[in-house]
Amino acid sequence: MQTTSDEVLIGRIAGGDRLAMQVLFARHHVRVYRFVLRFVRNEATAEDLISEVFLDVWRQAGKFEGRSAVSTWLLSIARFKALSALRRKPEQELDDATAEAIVDTADDPQRALEKKDKGEILRKTLSALSAEHREIIDLVYYHEKSVEEVAEIVGIPEATVKTRMFYARKKMAELLKQQGVDRGWP
């Protein structure tokens, strides 16, 4: 089973091929949506933003030079759109589901351990990180981006990518410790 490469699809989109656009959208829209949702924390806003992201792809396809993977290009556009949306709505409130997901520091460690397994605490800690730290962890672990690709998407030097990832993990370890989960690192 062979699939048309993203680069070929972009070439066809540049020529006005709507079907190629549908294929590219079907292939990437869920990941782009999740990436954006972790920024804006609002499902309706995230849906609007992915339409804008792919509309930009439709408009800019002819200028795509293929210097990076198409998925990296998509996430770069998505990040820009998400940050712009957050700047437009600084008062953006967290939706209930996300707010609930954030670690409740009122629980004492023992109680937290009793009612949640370690994996659940870890996932809630991931949600409680700053946007900067959440973003880098998602890009590396979920979107499988290399150091070079993260540097391109976030617009920071490669050395900073590595140290930012390290500090994100360190912060996560600190939050876990507050929840009674001591992993013996750092």
Partner 1 sequence: MNTTNESQDDVELMLPWHAAGTLSRRDAKRVEDALARDPELARRYDLVREELGETIRLNETLGAPSARAMDNLFKKIDGEPARRALPRLDLAARFSEFMAGFSPRTLAWSAAAAVLAIVLQAGIITGVLLNERTPGSGYQAASAPATAPADGSYAMIRFAPQASASDITGFLEANKLSLAGGPAAGGLYRVRVGMTGIPKNDLARIVRELQQDKTVDFIAAVQ
Which parts of 47-66 interact with partner 1 (CB under 8 A)?
47-48, 50-51, 54-55, 58-59, 65-66
Residues found in the chain? 186
Q: How many CA atoms lie within 13 A of 178 on its CB side?
A: 13
CB of 3 to partner 1, least distance (A): 9
> Does 90 engage in binding with partner 1 (CB under 8 A)?
no
> Does 27 engage in binding with partner 1 (CB under 8 A)?
no
Residue type at 76 in one-letter notation: S
In 3D space, the residue among 60, 57, 85 whose CA is nearest the CA of residue 71 turns out to be: 57
**167 phi/psi in degrees, rounded to 5:** -70, -30
CB of 100 to partner 1, least distance (A): 13
The single residue among 16, 108, 111, 114 that binds partner 1, judged by CB under 8 A, is 16
The single residue among 166, 174, 177, 182 that binds partner 1, judged by CB under 8 A, is 166
The single residue among 104, 148, 174, 182 that binds partner 1, judged by CB under 8 A, is 148
> Does 99 engage in binding with partner 1 (CB under 8 A)?
no
In 3D space, the residue among 18, 13, 42, 30 whose CA is nearest the CA of residue 71 turns out to be: 30
Tell me, what DSSP letter sits at residue 93? P
The single residue among 76, 92, 95, 123 that binds partner 1, judged by CB under 8 A, is 123
Q: Which two tokens stand for residue 27?
A: 């292939």
Query: How many residues touch partner 1 (CB under 8 A)?
Result: 58
Radius of gyration of the chain (CA): 19
For residues 97 and 91, give the distance between their C-alpha atoms in angstroms, rounded to a whole number: 17
Residue type at 144 in one-letter notation: E
By the criterion CB under 8 A, which residues form the site for partner 1?
2, 4-5, 7-8, 11, 15-18, 21-22, 25, 29-30, 33-34, 37-38, 43, 46-48, 50-51, 54-55, 58-59, 65-67, 69, 119, 122-123, 126-127, 137-138, 140-142, 144-149, 162-163, 165-166, 169, 172, 183-185
